[in-house]
Every structure is written in structure tokens, then in C-alpha cells.
Amino acid sequence: MIRVRDLDALSRYTLLLHSYRSKPFRHKSKAYDPLVEQFTQQMGNRKYNGVQWFFTNLANALKLGHSAMTVKLDRSYWSANKAKIGYRQVKGVVDWMVENGYVALYTGNKDFVAEWRSYPSVIKFEQKLIDLIDIESVRLYIPSDRLEFPIILKDRATKEVVELDITEGVLEMAQQMNTYNESVDAVCVKFNGESVPAIEYKRSFSGNLFQGGRLFVHGGSVQLLPERYRLKYLTIDGEPVAEIDYRAIHASLLYENVAQKENHVYTLAKEGFDPYSADRSFMVVDDMEIAKHRVKYGLKKYDPIRNLYKRALMMAINNPNHTKARAALNNDIYKDSKLELEDRAYVGLLKPNPDQVLEALSAHNELIEDHFYKDNGVKLQFVDSQIALRVIDYLMQEGETCLAYHDSFAVKGSVAPLLESAMLSAWKDVMGENKFCFVERK
């Protein structure tokens, strides 16, 4: 038995990308009922509910193109569920399937101290199991398990999904997302040579329909892949992807607004002003540690100070006061120290002081510091989501599509010039000007 966390990074991301998130339900279907009966006879009638749960989720996973599925091996999760599926049933079915060579089990890491990077337990389907399934029957009899509605509204405090009034405007947004999802569905996306399961985007708002609104892939999928793995192993229609992002998008949106009221501010844009280039003199840095990190992981560039200022600016914009921003940044620094070394953003920084970092950032960005500590992040996300949708629309008009990552977009390498033009045009459409619009290829 192997733990997910012990896989090499590429194998781990490949496994998770192809894992369907199993659910605590079961139902009868002509597609797999004979198998449920057959396997129940072998495992015993007490396992019937668990067997039916297994094949219900297996069929849904295969229909969507997955080759594995997550499983909750936690007693409390299965306690008193409506489908009457018990933990012992699930554990017994999984163990039997492993012992008889139908699946491989990769266990999660509840013992891992960094809970924010915990991994689920995953069942990988062996060919022996897949050969038993009539895929045509699955396609015919298994109902779609895809995203029901692409517009989501969440309560800001609880993060729970709340009921949405389906107005004409909401229906228009839904149609826009459906059109985008159809364009993504029409291309072949692969990671490390394997087809990626169905990619569906949803638009998620926070509190109301004028806050948030960013695009997320339902279930995470390709959005969970680190940038270096996307660039190296992701392809669209057989072409390696090119990825371009808006540099310092929220700060740049704020500077664009200020400049339209005070034209002299545009001189900063001409000089290539960087919101993250605040004072570094007080930082204690181990340059040798940074150099070794770059060599070990083959990084062309690695700037932990810039990474820190980037996160600090996000904390300053997204929190309602300085105290919460400082606490959030301090927590972020701590969390980073608990990640796998390959994933850390602040290697080589020795005990950075959040107060000093935020103070230097404010001094460097004095023209927009009035927008700090005002909880303005969700409002800026609404604006950047409008820009993202315009980018997508420009590409679709040319018969192309992209994979969106909030302020970054991946396209076929040959389409990169078109993407860059679309990004500049989309920014100007929404903001009225694009002098503070800086895009860079990763």
C-alpha cells in the first residue's frame, strides 16, 4: 500500500487529476446491476450497499473519463448517511477489491501535520476491473453527473452555497459559461500524455453578484496543477501550452483607475512600474540556499522576496484591517515552511517580519494604499472576471479556446500571439484604457 504523498510529484498530480470525487450515494442501473449481484455473492450480502456504492461511483467516474476515484476512509464521514452505506461496508469492499487485484489503493495522509496540504485516499482502477465494464452500457444508462448550473453564489461568511434567484441576467451569465465549456469540451486536453477528464468551469460569486465572480474548474482539475507542471506536461490538441498572465492584476487595476483621474500617473506605466518592487534592504536572505533550490528543481528564476510581496499585497487588499492582514501574512509564511520543499515560495528568506513587509509595500504603493485594508479583493475579482470572460470571448470568435486560471490563460503554443492581443483588448474594453495592463508569458 502506497501513500499519495510518497509518490513522486508528477505521478501524484497525474493520479489526482484523473480521480473522480466519489459520493455517498448508490442506485440501481442496468449498466452494472449484474456486477453488483456477482460481487455481493462473493463478498457476502452484508456488503450489498457498499458494493452498490462502489459500482455507482465507478460508472460515473468512467463516464467522465476518470481512471481513479477518491474514497473517504473515515468512520465519521459514513455515520448515519441517507443511503445507508456503512464505513465497514466501504472499507470491506475496498480491501477486497485490493486483495483481488481490481484496484490499487493509495492512502491519504491524515497523519501529515500540514492539514492544508492533506491528500485524499485514492482507488486506482486496474485494467482487470475496467474490462468488466460495458462502457457503451454506462454511456447509455448512467445519467450525467456534470455540473448542473454554472453560476454559484456563496455566503461570504460561511462559504456555503446559497439559493440563487434565476433572473434574466443570471441566465445570460449561465449561457456565457455554457458556451465557454462547450469550446473547452471540443478540444483534446492531455496531461503527461493522458486525456484529462471532463473540464467544466463555473463562475462563483461571494455575497452578491457584484463580488467575486471568478472562474473555477468544477472539482479543481487542471487549476490544481502547479505552473511548472502545466507548462511542461499539459497539451491542447497535441500542442504544448503557452501561458500568459496579467502581471500584478489587482494592483494594476487600481493604478489604472487612479491614472484616469490623475494623468501624470501614466508616467509610471511607461517606466515599467512594478508594485512588488518594494524596499528589500531589511530582508535577510540566504543567496546560496536560493541558488541551490533553483538548481535542485531546475528553476529558471526564483525570487522569494517578490513572492512574499505578491502575497502581502493580496493580504493588504483582501483584509478589512492591518491587524488581520498581518496575521494572514504571518500564517502564510508559517504554512509555506510546512510544505514540501519543491512547493515553497519563500526558500532562502530568514524570518521575514510581516509588519515591515506591509509597511514597505504601502510606502512603495502610496498612490493606491488608500485601497489597502478595505476588504476590496472581492470587488476587484469581479472586475478581473469580466476581463477574463472578454479574453475568452475574443478567442472563441477566432475559433480558439483557453484554459483560464483567474488572471492567467493557457492556449496552444501557436495561438500565443492571439491570446496576448485578446488580453490587451479585453482590459481596455472593461477599464477604458490599458496603459497599466502588463502581460507576460510564463
Same domain, yes or no, for 239 and 345?
no
pTM of the model: 0.91
Rounded to 10°, the helix 249-261/304-318 angle is: 60
Find all residues with CB under 8 Å of 415, minimum gap 6, and list them.
Answer: 242, 395, 400
- Give dist(CA 52, CA 32) in Å, integer: 9
Beta pairing partners, 216: 202
Domain tally, the chain = 3
Supply the mean pLDDT for the chain: 94
Q: What percent of the chain has pLDDT over 70?
A: 98
Same domain, yes or no, for 85 and 183?
no
Q: What percent of the chain has pLDDT over 90?
A: 87
Helix H or strand E segment including 340: none
Q: Does a structural domain hold residue 262?
A: no
pLDDT for residue 114: 45
pLDDT value at 93 more than 80: yes
Q: What share of the chain is helix, strand, coil (3-state, %, to 5)?
A: 50, 15, 35
Find all residues with CB under 8 Å of 240, minimum gap 6, and list them.
Answer: 231, 234, 413
Same domain, yes or no, for 68 and 23?
yes
Q: Does a structural domain hold residue 185?
A: yes
Q: Does a structural domain hold residue 270?
A: no
- Give dist(CA 16, CA 210) in Å, integer: 33
pLDDT for residue 144: 80
Same domain, yes or no, for 234 and 167?
yes
pLDDT for residue 110: 56
- Please check whether residue 342 is in contact with residue 293, taking contact to mean a CB–CB distance below 8 angstroms: no
Q: Does a structural domain hold residue 129?
A: yes
Beta pairing partners, 201: 217
Query: What is the C-alpha R_g of the chain?
Result: 24
pLDDT value at 199 more than 90: yes
Same domain, yes or no, for 120 and 30?
yes
Q: Which pLDDT tens digit goes with each residue over 396-416?
A: 999 999 999 999 999 999 999
Beta pairing partners, 68: 19, 124
pLDDT greater at residue 245 or residue 74: 245
Q: What is the mean pLDDT of residues 22-35?
A: 95
Same domain, yes or no, for 35 and 65?
yes
Same domain, yes or no, for 21 and 136?
yes
Rounded to 10°, the helix 377-397/304-318 angle is: 110
Same domain, yes or no, for 11 and 131?
yes
Q: What is the mean pLDDT of residues 262-290?
A: 93
pLDDT value at 42 more than 50: yes
Same domain, yes or no, for 287 and 356?
yes
Q: Does a structural domain hold residue 358?
A: yes
Question: Which of these three, 141, 168, 190, is where a domain ends?
Answer: 141
pLDDT value at 189 more than 90: yes
Please, which pLDDT band fits residue 1 given cuts at 50, 70 and 90?
confident
pLDDT value at 392 more than 90: yes
Residue ranges making up the domain that contains 213: 151-244+403-428
Same domain, yes or no, for 236 and 158?
yes
Same domain, yes or no, for 212 and 302?
no
Q: What is the DSSP letter of 356?
A: H
Same domain, yes or no, for 114 and 86?
yes
Q: Which pLDDT tens digit goes with each residue over 108-126?
A: 875 444 444 678 999 999 9
Q: Which of 218-222, 257-261, 336-340, 390-394 holds the top average pLDDT?
A: 390-394
pLDDT for residue 146: 80
Question: Which of these three, 93, 120, 141, is where a domain ends?
Answer: 141
Q: Which pLDDT tens digit goes with each residue over 138-167?
A: 999 998 878 889 999 999 999 999 999 999
Q: What is the mean pLDDT of residues 247-275?
A: 92
Cα angle vertex 442, ends 294, 180, to 5°?
Answer: 140
